[in-house]
Structure 1
Amino acid sequence: MSKVTAPKKVVLAYSGGLDTSIILKWLQTEYGCEVVTFTADLGQGEELEPARVKAELMGIPPENIYIEDVREEFVRDFVFPMFRANAVYEGLYLLGTSIARPLISKRLVEIAAEVGADAVAHGATGKGNDQVRFELAAYALNPDIKVIAPWREWDLSSRTKLLEFAEEHQIPVAKDKRGEAPFSVDANLLHTSSEGKVLEDPAEMAPDYVYQRTVAPEDAPDTPEFVEIGFERGDAVSINGEAMSPATILTKLNELGGNHGCGRLDLVEGRFVGMKSRGIYETPGGTLLLEAHRGIESITLDRGAAHLKDELMPRYAELIYNGFWYSPEREMLQAAIDKSQEHVTGTVKLKLYKGSARTVGRWSDHSLYSEAHVTFEDDGGAYDQKDAAGFIQLNALRLKLLAARNKRLK
């Protein structure tokens, strides 16, 4: 962005950490613009008041500092809709970082409108997926908004240069940031993501200290724990019979799953920008939620609907991973997914043990399961086994015709 088109007022996604503090000062010195900071409490498990103090120390007036608890909105309006789809990217990743970005972008754009800002800014680098997610969401919500991505613009291309800039502008630098950080962490109520440095060689096992939310499965309790999760229309509403809010449910499931070493993932994934990257993810509560949701769907969802959902899911997951939460195609898929959840109501019993979460029971007033039809005992005429003969013959007809032709042409 040239100085000619320099913004007058920018809303910055601000964590209070070194990188976004440097970005804050850089925006002020590079563009001479007014900066508004937005810090979202997404359940990352860190105290957010230091971000307020740090922003004030850097000259941001109190009225330009926004710190908001968005945990309930995050789980209710983003995590839960995604889990109705059983969404996993590349067969394994539960999209914990991906699903947080559209909410942050939404608030950036909304705050920009409230305070009369003409631009928003983020701290994502030019190599990752987050820059795409932040910016696609911002443009979808306000096509006229300017987006500033300092990592793509400045010449602070190394940790040394960043530290020199910080010292020059008297930005506090934590002692552990003086050297190379061992790895980069992103966290919210759904997961933690660790990448870089000691994790960059995918042949090397991740050190134990990387894991923050889960005990090692081998160190988990020797006694299994059972937990019952209640669902209504595809969303979790209770744990062990106690009704809870969406964020409270995910918090409790994180605790339960973490205690038993559930939800660890060591993944090499294909980024949207083209390269592969290695990440260590911990999603204890999400792992329990996915297992339980599939468990309740198994007795309440019709086979045709269930199989179609499974076909749509990879596309849906890819849209979220690539930053298209606010696209018409994601909304179309969401409408189909939500329609499928009308009868996904009931309770699932999970067994948690040494890193695993397995469904061991499920029941529902909306169940399609009929013991009378599947029993190996006398079913009292519920199902006439002779009917299967015609069913098989009709389905075999085209196979017979194919086989007859092939035999004739040999």
Structure 2
Amino acid sequence: EFREAGAWEFIPLEAIAPLVNDRVQLKDISNVNYVSTENILQDFGGVAVANKLPTVNSVSSFQAGDVLLANIRPYLKKVWAANFSGGASNDVLVFRPRNSQGCQYVAHILKNNRFIDYVMAGAKGVKMPRGDINSIKEYPVPIPPETTEQQKVAHCLSSLDEVIGLQAKKVQSLKQHKKGLMQQLFPAEGETTPRLRFPEFREAGAWEVKRLGEVCIICNGSSNAQDHVDDGAYPLFDRSEEIKRSSRYLFDAEAVIIPGEGMRFIPKYYCGKFDLHQRAYALSDFREVGKFIYYQLGALKGVLASKAVMSTVLSLRMPILETFKLVIPSSGEQQKIAHCLSSLDEVIGLESHKLDTLKNLKKGLMQQLFPQEVA
């Protein structure tokens, strides 16, 4: 119904949603309605309850319908359309649409990769870049000639956001379910019997205490491996073509990979050809069920991290891993637990893929629903 409505125009953001600098006393704010760069979620994910309040007398004030942008490291895409009133830190910019009917529209304009790219292009600083406020105010916002078209676009994208939000909650619920299940399927620290067992193993007795070095072979990676650790946690590389041409320390087996340094010693299960960074360990040649060991180490990652020693960074040494104690049931119970958790991982993977597909759908839709300004 709008195909003959004429061309859109571009208006500076400041003209339709100016920055507001209202203040509110901290005594009138709680953790529930305080927003900072820490509790606005990445990738336009909304907000979480704040862990703490600042030690100041007043903070920025925002209202329901405002759009908030965390202006430190804008590439994290921390943009939130407020659905309640509260207070915000000084590093959060508060935009207030002049027209209450345009609130959703402005929110979708700012929750857009095109806007984030624009902010980053003018950002200042390297480690902690900040968007340039004057430049942000001048961001060219596309406006259709008819208000009804603007409302239609906003409604379309808001409806899709609702679907994405429901799917995200489903994925999060599945992950929480798995976390709780693992806490019951594996014995707590210092115990040898889990709280939850499959019926056929309830009379099987206590699990046996073994050192990690007894149940698998532990190897270091090669100093020739690419000097990179993906996301600071998973030092794993699958480069088949390079493997054919190199003489690196390679694996072609079922293995559990554990980073040797950092803050998070999160295991990753892998099966196939890969090379390994020197600051990582590969657990292979399992005398027990490899995937069971992977899940058990995942459940004990906090305990494992507590064993690390501090040099320049937290490090796991080979003797620490070799002597790290696990409690192991019979191979039949191991297989049952591993199969249960693997099946749940498959469901989580499928639902996560659906979520990614919906996000990509919205991303593509926004590229077509909003015109790009001609330079």
Which TM-score band (shorter chain)? under 0.3
TM norm structure 2? 0.24
TM norm structure 1? 0.23
**Which of the pair has the greater relative contact order for Cα pairs under 8 Å at 6+ separation?**
1
